[in-house]
Structure 1
Amino acid sequence: MQYKDYYKIMELARDASQDEIKRAYRKLARKYHPDVSKEADAEAKFKELGEAYEVLKDPEKRAAYNQLGENWKSGQDFRPPPNWDEGFEFKGGGFTGGDAGDFSDFFEQLFGGAEGFRSAGTGHRHHGEHLRGQDSHAKIHIDLEDSYHGATRNISLSAPEMNAQGQVQVKHRSLNVKIPKGIKPGQHIKLAEQGNPGLGNGQAGDLFLEIAFNTHPLYRVAESDVYLDLPVTPWEAALGAKIKVPTPEGHVDLKIPPNSRQGGKLRLAGRGLPTRTPGDFFVVLQVVLPPANTEQAKAVYQNMQQVLDFNPRLSMGG
């Protein structure tokens, strides 16, 4: 996937004001509009311009894009940094420049999965002569263990704001957030009146925190179930064994049945995420072969070859 330098596409400096962005778009849109332009690749350039304007005209998308930094070059192979959008507050202005499906993979990777970037914000609500503030959204990452036990975490949030020169700046704040036991990725924590301030004496909006899990060195999560890839020796898989296995709630003794196979799953019922209906904990067996790196080890393998007379490719006619 190629990096898109939206400032270069719009022939702008990174500190351009929002008015300068609008003027640049109008100028370049006239230049590259396919119905009137005589420029080579006018249609492609017009489409690329529309995508750049979709991001830079929106202070939230622009501030999020700016977080990627200035060291990328147009066309450079790009993968978003891990958790690049964590703690970034947005109201969600929706798309106004056409169908987002017409935009590049780069745009989709950054903004396509963010609920607030894809749908219109809540907006102000009338309460007499006052206006309720807009709700805001942010994604935060927690540890798997936080869901098992519950926790209180201090989180840092960032939100864009306009300065007097019409340039986008980022303000920061910190909040203590209670992580409820049993929360799953994709669920939200609602913090009442922690969104955008109201107008007049209007009530502040709410803040919705979308939960994601940090990558864990041992476990992976699917819905409420938790999976562990467990290395076992060939003799443990073949003969059976009793093995001490780590889980987020501590080690358990697990019985490996004889004649277990690579990829076999063993279920520990109810030991997944402690949701209202608890998930399960699955141990996925990974048979690891000892290396034949000594004469003694080679002799063991040669003896197995002679004694077992085993051909795993018989069903393939081999």
Structure 2
Amino acid sequence: MEFKDYYTILGVTEKADASAIKASYRKLARKYHPDVSKDDNAEQQFKDVGEAYAVLKDKEKRAEYDALRAQGTYRSGGGYQPPPDWQSSHAGGGHSQHSDSDFSDFFDSIFGANGASFHQSDDFQRSGNANRRGRDLYYKIALFLEEAYQGCQRQISLRVSEPDEHGQIKQRDKTLNVKIPAGVIEGQHIRLAGQGELGVGQGKAGDLLLEIEFAPHPYFAVDGVNILLTLPVTCWEAVLGATVEVPTINGKVKLKIPPASNSGNKLRIKGKGLVGKGEKASGDQIVTLQVNLPKEHNADAKALYQKLAECESNFNPRQILER
């Protein structure tokens, strides 16, 4: 079994904080997404990045991983075996919450089959009933916002338990082509009837429930059906007002910035959010202004700022602090 160096996979150091880890994951997840990348190995790289992030974003899992990593019982690129007395606090006990087909053997050897995207319902019990409905399966599927907005076709793989001709429970891999409708939102469930595990005897097959989650986006965030964007603007655009191009989920639009705007001011672009189940109208895009200054100024610009300081000498933004 090959050792997985999650820090190397994400391109961060051992001292990287949560924000750096998340930022690197966002960048790499988009780079290696099979629908975006032309790399022949993109799907595996996408899975490796997701696995690394699942460990390093979790304080407890990261601490356990760091402890093993520090023991020096592995060789990068070579074989790896956890210590004989190793038992993760995340492994074992009850039904596995996730599919061991989604993450690597290395991951499962440390944490068991916890941490991937597939999990099974907890209400299943292996009883001796002659006719029993198959168990429902649950699968988290990560989408880009563009995929959620437009709809997409995705292929998913999961491992199911089924009785053979002798009634013995066996596991097999199952692949499905799934159509995701346009306008889904994070947390929404899509039920695929009869696509769960087979029933016993005359029992019906269970269902497969897909839970939608969103992959991190380079600059968009989501709040329900609304899409959020922080928009950098210049100080002169904020003071004088301007019309600028702004990206939305389905293309760029012109946005009018009112004069005397300030950092933190919010503008709404109607109808440029997600639709969402049961919504009468689509969500909006909420734009938060962020006034940015150049890192350097030439002599003419400095002179103008000096003149501005003289003209606005009565303005004191820190007056509220002088009580």
- Asked if these proteins are the same fold (TM beyond 0.5), I'd say yes
The residue that corresponds to 2:306 in the other structure is 302
Residue identity matched to 2:146: E
The residue that corresponds to 2:223 in the other structure is 222
- Flag the 1:206–1:62 CA change in 2: closer, same or farther, 3 A: closer
The residue that corresponds to 1:233 in the other structure is 234
Q: Does 1:314 align with 2:310?
A: no
Deviation at 1:266, TM superposition (A): 0.6
Q: Are 2:102 and 2:116, in contact at CA under 8 Å, matched by a contact in 1?
A: no
Residue identity matched to 2:254: D
Deviation at 1:147, TM superposition (A): 2.2
In structure 2, C-alpha distance between the alignment counterparts of 1:180 and 1:65, rounded to whole Å: 26
The residue that corresponds to 1:56 in the other structure is 92
Q: Does 1:130 align with 2:131?
A: yes
Residue-by-residue CA offset, 1:143-164 (whole Å, 9 max, x unaligned): 1112222222222335689xxx
Which structure 2 segments of 5+ residues have no match?
1-58, 69-80, 163-169
In structure 2, C-alpha distance between the alignment counterparts of 1:125 and 1:84, rounded to whole Å: 28
- Flag the 1:196–1:62 CA change in 2: closer, same or farther, 3 A: closer
- Flag the 1:246–1:170 CA change in 2: closer, same or farther, 3 A: farther
**Which aligned pairs between 1:95-106 and structure 2 lie closer than 5 A?**
none
Q: Are 1:124 and 1:132, in contact at CA under 8 Å, matched by a contact in 2?
A: no
Q: CA RMSD in A?
A: 4.0
Residue-by-residue CA offset, 1:88-114 (whole Å, 9 max, x unaligned): 2x223xxxxxxxxxxxxxxxxxxxxxx
Identity among equivalent positions (%) equals: 39
- Flag the 1:227–1:269 CA change in 2: closer, same or farther, 3 A: same
SS of aligned partner of 2:308 = helix
Structure 1 range deviating more: 207-216 or 54-63: 54-63
TM-score (norm 1): 0.63
Which structure 1 segments of 5+ residues have no match?
17-23, 25-47, 75-82, 93-119, 162-168
Q: Are 2:99 and 2:116, in contact at CA under 8 Å, matched by a contact in 1?
A: no
* Of 283, 286, 292, the match for 2:287: 283
SS of aligned partner of 1:208 = strand
The residue that corresponds to 1:85 in the other structure is 116
Deviation at 1:274, TM superposition (A): 1.7
Deviation at 1:225, TM superposition (A): 0.7
User: May I ask how many residue pairs the two structures share in their alignment?
Assistant: 237
In structure 1, C-alpha distance between the alignment counterparts of 2:185 and 2:216, rounded to whole Å: 14
In structure 1, C-alpha distance between the alignment counterparts of 2:82 and 2:201, rounded to whole Å: 34
Residue-by-residue CA offset, 1:294-318 (whole Å, 9 max, x unaligned): 4344333333222322321112228
SS of aligned partner of 2:212 = strand
Q: Are 1:236 and 1:256, in contact at CA under 8 Å, matched by a contact in 2?
A: yes
Q: Are 1:292 and 1:298, in contact at CA under 8 Å, matched by a contact in 2?
A: no
TM-score (norm 2): 0.62
The residue that corresponds to 1:109 in the other structure is none
Q: Are 1:124 and 1:131, in contact at CA under 8 Å, matched by a contact in 2?
A: no
**Which aligned pairs between 1:118-267 and structure 2 lie closer than 5 A?**
120-121=122-123, 129-158=130-159, 172-267=173-268
In structure 2, C-alpha distance between the alignment counterparts of 1:170 and 1:306, rounded to whole Å: 77
SS of aligned partner of 1:299 = helix
Q: Are 1:266 and 1:283, in contact at CA under 8 Å, matched by a contact in 2?
A: yes
The residue that corresponds to 1:77 in the other structure is none
SS of aligned partner of 2:239 = helix
Q: Are 1:124 and 1:134, in contact at CA under 8 Å, matched by a contact in 2?
A: no
The residue that corresponds to 1:37 in the other structure is none
Q: Are 2:140 and 2:210, in contact at CA under 8 Å, matched by a contact in 1?
A: yes
SS of aligned partner of 2:294 = coil
In structure 1, C-alpha distance between the alignment counterparts of 2:270 and 2:240, rounded to whole Å: 24
In structure 1, C-alpha distance between the alignment counterparts of 2:287 and 2:98, rounded to whole Å: 43
In structure 2, C-alpha distance between the alignment counterparts of 1:316 and 1:271, rounded to whole Å: 39
Q: Are 1:226 and 1:282, in contact at CA under 8 Å, matched by a contact in 2?
A: yes
SS of aligned partner of 2:231 = strand
Deviation at 1:174, TM superposition (A): 2.5
Residue identity matched to 2:321: M
* Of 292, 299, 303, the match for 2:296: 292
In structure 1, C-alpha distance between the alignment counterparts of 2:266 and 2:124, rounded to whole Å: 45
